[in-house]
Structures are given as structure tokens and as C-alpha cells.
């Protein structure tokens, strides 16, 4: 099974973040522009939280709040689960499944170095399974 390091090497490593005092509408615009489902909330180099589409739907839309007047810090998820570069994709899959989350920041040496999404994990599992099937087919045919 692949490591988080290998997953990040296979994708664009750009991390999108916003400050906790920014209005929620700026975070939503960033997510729409970058076609991502969550954005990290950073206070300088420190990971302060994560803001997802789910947070927006539950804490702005359903509560009738204003996206322009509400700061990110008021609706972000503060207890962020993260993984390291040497964690396995299997472990990450277990975390996102058990915790029902879709994004895992990757932290190494106290610094955010990337984000792994459930889509990245599913893609890796499918590719690994296809490789195994191909190897089994070659073995059977030989």
C-alpha cells in the first residue's frame, strides 16, 4: 500500500489556505475557484482549523447566517485530524471512514506539507487493485 508521501508526489502539492479572520464568503470563493471541497485555516504557519463545504452548509446556510459577515473562525472545524508523510493510504482510508471526513492535512515537522482527500485515497486503492489484478492475470496466463 502506498504512503502519503507517494500520494502527494502523484498530485499537485499546492495547499490552499485562508486566515481565521477572513469572511466565510472569501473561503467559499476560494473553494469554488480551485474546485476543492475544503480549505485549511492557517494562523501564520500554524494549522488552526479546516473549513469544508459541509461546515458551510450546516453552520451558515441552515442557521441563516451571512457569509459576508461571519468570520471563518466562527464556523471552522478546530479539531483537525492530520497524518504524516510516512502514514499509509490504508491508515488514511480508515481515518476518513471512521471519522466521516473527506480531507486530511499532511503535517511533517509541525508544518503543513499537503492535503490528502478521500478522492486521492480511492484513486490509489483502485490503482493498486488494478495492478494486483494485472499481476494475477499475467501469473495465470504464464
The per-residue DSSP string of 20-74 comes to TTSBHHHHHHHHHHHT-SEEEEEETTEEEEEEEHHHHIIIIITTT--TTTSBGGG
4-141, what's its fold? CBS-domain (3.10.580)
Asked whether residue 14 carries a pLDDT value surpassing 90, the answer given is: no
Q: What is the pLDDT of residues 35-52, one digit of tens each?
A: 999 999 999 999 999 999
pLDDT digits (tens, 9 = 90+) for 85-130: 999 999 999 999 999 999 999 999 999 999 999 999 999 989 888 8
Q: Residue 44, Cβ neighbours under 10 Å: how many?
A: 6
pLDDT tens track for 50-66: 999 999 999 999 899 99
Q: How far is CA 92 from the centre of its chain?
A: 11
Q: Rounded to 5 degrees, what are φ and ψ at 109?
A: 60, 35
Q: How far apart are CA 54 and CA 129, in angstroms?
A: 30
Q: Which residue carries 502527494 as its cell?
A: 8
Query: Whole-prediction pTM value?
Result: 0.87
Rg, the chain, Cα only: 18
Other CB atoms within 10 Å distance of the CB of residue 41: 25
Amino acid at each position: 500500500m502506498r504512503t502519503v508521501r507517494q500520494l502527494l508526489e502523484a498530485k499537485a502539492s499546492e495547499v490552499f489556505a485562508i486566515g481565521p479572520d477572513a469572511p466565510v464568503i472569501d473561503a467559499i470563493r476560494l473553494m469554488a475557484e480551485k474546485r476543492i471541497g475544503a480549505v485549511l485555516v492557517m494562523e501564520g504557519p500554524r494549522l488552526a482549523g479546516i473549513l469544508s463545504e459541509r461546515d458551510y452548509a450546516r453552520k451558515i446556510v441552515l442557521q441563516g447566517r451571512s457569509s459576508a459577515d461571519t468570520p471563518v473562525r466562527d464556523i471552522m472545524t478546530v479539531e483537525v485530524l492530520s497524518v504524516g508523510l510516512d502514514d499509509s493510504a490504508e491508515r488514511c482510508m480508515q481515518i476518513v471512514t471512521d471519522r466521516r471526513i473527506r480531507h486530511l492535512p499532511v503535517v511533517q515537522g509541525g508544518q503543513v506539507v499537503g492535503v490528502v482527500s478521500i478522492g486521492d485515497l480511492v484513486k490509489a486503492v483502485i490503482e493498486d487493485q488494478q495492478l494486483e489484478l494485472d499481476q494475477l492475470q499475467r501469473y495465470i496466463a504464464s
